[in-house]
A and B are shown apart, each in its own frame.
Chain A
Amino acid sequence: MKIWMKEHLQPFLKKPHFGFIVVGLVLITVRMLVDVLPPDLYGAIVTTSYYYIAGLGFALLLGYGGLASLGTGAFVGIGAFTLHYVYRFMTMPLLIAILAAIVLSIIISIAFGFVSLRISGMYLAIVTMGLSQIVIEIIKNIPNYASGTTGGFLSGGPRRPLVFLGMELSANAAVFFMAVFIVLGMIVVHNLITSATGRALLSIKNSETAAQTMGINLLKYRLLAFVISGVYGTLAGVLSIMYVRNASVNQIGLTFALNILAAVIIGGTKSIWGILMGTFVIFGLDLAIFQRFQLGNYSVIINGILIILVVMFYPGGLIQLFGDIKKFIKKMKAKWRERKYGTE
Chain B
Amino acid sequence: MSFTTDLLSIIASALISFSFLSLATFGIVLIFKTSSTTNFAQGMLGILGAYATSYFIDKQGVNDLTGLPSVVISSPWQLILPMLAGIAISFIAGLFIDVFIFRNAKYTNAGTKQIITMGLVIVITGLIPLIFGSTTRVSFAFTQKTWMLAGVALPVHQLITLAISFILIIFIFIMLKYTKWGLGVRSVASNERVAGLMGINTNVINALSWAIAGALGALSAMTYTAAIGTMSVMSMIDIQVNAFYASILGGFSTFFGPLGGAFLLTAGQAVFPKLLVSFNLAQWSNTVLYLAIIVAVLIKPVGLFGKKIVKKV
**Which of B71-79, B199-207, B242-250 interfaces with chain A?**
B242-250
Instruction: Other than A254-B237, A261-B115, A261-B118, give 16 A-B pairs with Cβ distance below 8 A.
Output: A119-B298, A127-B248, A137-B287, A209-B313, A210-B313, A258-B114, A258-B118, A261-B111, A301-B127, A304-B126, A307-B119, A308-B120, A308-B123, A311-B116, A311-B119, A312-B104
A122:B38 contact, CB within 8 angstroms: yes
Residues of B104-137 contacting chain A, CB below 8 A: 104-105, 108-112, 114-116, 118-123, 125-127, 129-130
Which among B111, B119, B247, B298 is the interface contact of A305 at CB below 8 angstroms?
Answer: B119
With contacts A115-B298, A300-B122, A308-B101 taken as known, whether A261 is within 8 angstroms of B114 at the C-beta atoms is yes
A130:B126 contact, CB within 8 angstroms: no
A125 on the B face (CB < 8 A): yes
Which among A126, A127, A130, A304 is the interface contact of B119 at CB below 8 angstroms?
Answer: A304
Which among B101, B126, B244 is the interface contact of A312 at CB below 8 angstroms?
Answer: B101
Which among A115, A122, A207, A210 is the interface contact of B252 at CB below 8 angstroms?
Answer: A122
Instruction: Provide the residues of chain B in CB contact with A254, threshold 8 Å.
Output: 40, 237, 241
Distance from A131 Cβ to chain B, minimum over Cβ atoms (Å) = 7
Number of chain B residues close to chain A: CB under 8 A: 46
Distance from B134 Cβ to chain A, minimum over Cβ atoms (Å) = 11
Per CB-CB distance, the 8 closest pairs between chain A and chain B, nearest first, are: A300-B126, A304-B122, A304-B123, A301-B126, A307-B119, A308-B119, A137-B287, A258-B118
Distance from B88 Cβ to chain A, minimum over Cβ atoms (Å) = 23
A97 on the B face (CB < 8 A): no
A115 to B296, CA, bound (A): 12
B110:A122 contact, CB within 8 angstroms: yes
Name the residue in B104, B116, B122, B244 with the highest tally of chain A Cβ atoms < 10 Å from its Cβ. Answer: B122
Instruction: Provide the residues of chain A in CB contact with B130, threshold 8 Å.
Output: 297-298, 301
A123:B248 contact, CB within 8 angstroms: yes
A133:B126 contact, CB within 8 angstroms: no
Instruction: Provide the residues of chain B in CB contact with A259, threshold 8 Å.
Output: 118
Instruction: Provide the residues of chain A in CB contact with B286, threshold 8 Å.
Output: 133, 137
B293 on the A face (CB < 8 A): yes
A127:B123 contact, CB within 8 angstroms: no
With contacts A115-B294, A307-B122 taken as known, whether A126 is within 8 angstroms of B114 at the C-beta atoms is no
Instruction: Provide the residues of chain B in CB contact with A266, threshold 8 Å.
Output: 115
With contacts A297-B130, A301-B123, A308-B101 taken as known, whether A265 is within 8 angstroms of B298 at the C-beta atoms is no
A297 to B40, CA, bound (A): 21
A261 to B117, CA, bound (A): 12
Complex: chain A residue closest to B113, CB-CB: A311
With contacts A126-B244, A129-B241, A141-B283 taken as known, whether A121 is within 8 angstroms of B110 at the C-beta atoms is yes
